[in-house]
């Protein structure tokens, strides 16, 4: 049984899909713990959500590139007597350009945020969910995890593949204990992602039907994890793309992905 007011921890909550998750969950009657690097944005969102929905919002500014951050977040929540019922592992970004063009610190920080942090947060919070017999974990992956890799953003798709497989295994381990785990796989989504990576101009060349807004992605994600779906690709167009690449011979799929990727890749 879900608690009367579940507590949701949302990472990367200062903008985009993370902020949309916070708004949607607050509207569902959740209290929130929000984390991201930009405290001012989190505090502004906290005021907005409290005024609109009367929820309690805990702001925990943190940089998940710091290996100590996941443990510190969970310890801070425990010290405040807060038990997390929903974990939204949303924090993420892309590193544009070729693999060799960035220094190792850049790649190490990326892997910490997109791989280590979500896995550690799940590991730390899952036992409490099992004990209470209720929990929801959404790992925000990507359509990129279902199609061949392309040049540029070299680690992004592999990281998302990991989250998909991790979510599937965790879902199987936890479904009999009242905990649902879902890898949410959006395609192109209107957010700050491409502004941060400096690829907005290139992305604007994509046709409008390829895009979803963050609210649509979040609504699908909440419905999917509640249903118990271990993996959910958002949007009909994205599901069509996934199916198309799945049916293609590997060599053809790789060539098509490479050709399309060159059109939207930022040069080093």
Question: Tokens 């790992």 correspond to what residue?
Answer: 139
Integer CA distances (angstroms), 75 to 63, 116, 119, 121, 223, in order: 15, 17, 16, 11, 30
To the nearest 10 degrees (0 to 180), the angle between helices 39-53 and 16-27 is 20
Task: Single out the catalytic residue among 93, 134, 156, 264.
Answer: 156
- CA angle, corner 234, sides to 230 and 239, nearest 5? 95
The token duo for 83 is 């038990």
**In the sheet that 31-35 helps form, which strands lie side by side, from edge to edge?**
57-59, 31-35, 7-11, 86-89, 135-140, 179-185, 231-233
Specify whether 156 is catalytic.
Answer: yes
The distance of Cα 67 from the centroid of its chain, to the nearest Å, equals: 18
For strands 7-11 and 31-35, give the pairing: parallel
Scanning 30-116, the segments in alpha helix (DSSP H) are 39-53, 69-79, 104-111
Ranges assigned E (strand) in 13-99 = 31-35, 57-59, 86-89
Which residues are part of the catalytic machinery? 156
């Amino acid at each position: 049984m879900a608690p009367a007011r579940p507590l949701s921890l949302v990472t990367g909550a200062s903008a985009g899909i993370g902020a949309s998750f916070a708004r949607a969950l607050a509207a569902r009657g959740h209290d929130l713990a929000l984390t991201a690097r930009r405290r001012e944005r989190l505090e502004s969102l906290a005021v907005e959500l409290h005024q609109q929905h009367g929820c309690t919002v805990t702001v925990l500014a943190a940089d998940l590139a710091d290996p100590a951050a996941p443990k510190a977040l969970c310890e801070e929540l425990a010290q405040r007597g807060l038990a997390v019922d929903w974990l939204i592992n949303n924090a993420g970004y892309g590193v544009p350009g070729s693999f060799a063009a960035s220094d190792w610190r850049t790649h190490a920080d990326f892997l910490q945020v997109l791989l280590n942090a979500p896995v550690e947060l799940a590991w730390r919070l899952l036992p409490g969910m099992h004990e209470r017999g209720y929990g929801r974990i959404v790992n925000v992956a990507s359509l990129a995890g279902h199609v061949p890799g392309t040049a540029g953003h070299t680690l992004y798709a592999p990281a998302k593949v990991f989250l998909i497989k991790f979510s599937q295994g965790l879902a199987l381990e936890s479904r009999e204990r009242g905990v649902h785990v879902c890898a949410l796989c959006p395609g192109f989504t209107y957010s700050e992602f491409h502004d941060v990576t400096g690829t907005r101009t290139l992305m604007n060349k994509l046709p409008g039907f390829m895009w979803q807004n963050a609210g649509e992605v979040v609504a699908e994600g909440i419905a999917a994890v509640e249903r118990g779906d271990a993996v959910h690709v958002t949007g009909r167009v994205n599901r069509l793309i996934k199916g198309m690449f799945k049916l293609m011979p590997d060599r053809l799929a790789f060539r098509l992905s490479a050709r399309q990727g060159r059109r939207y890749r930022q040069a080093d």
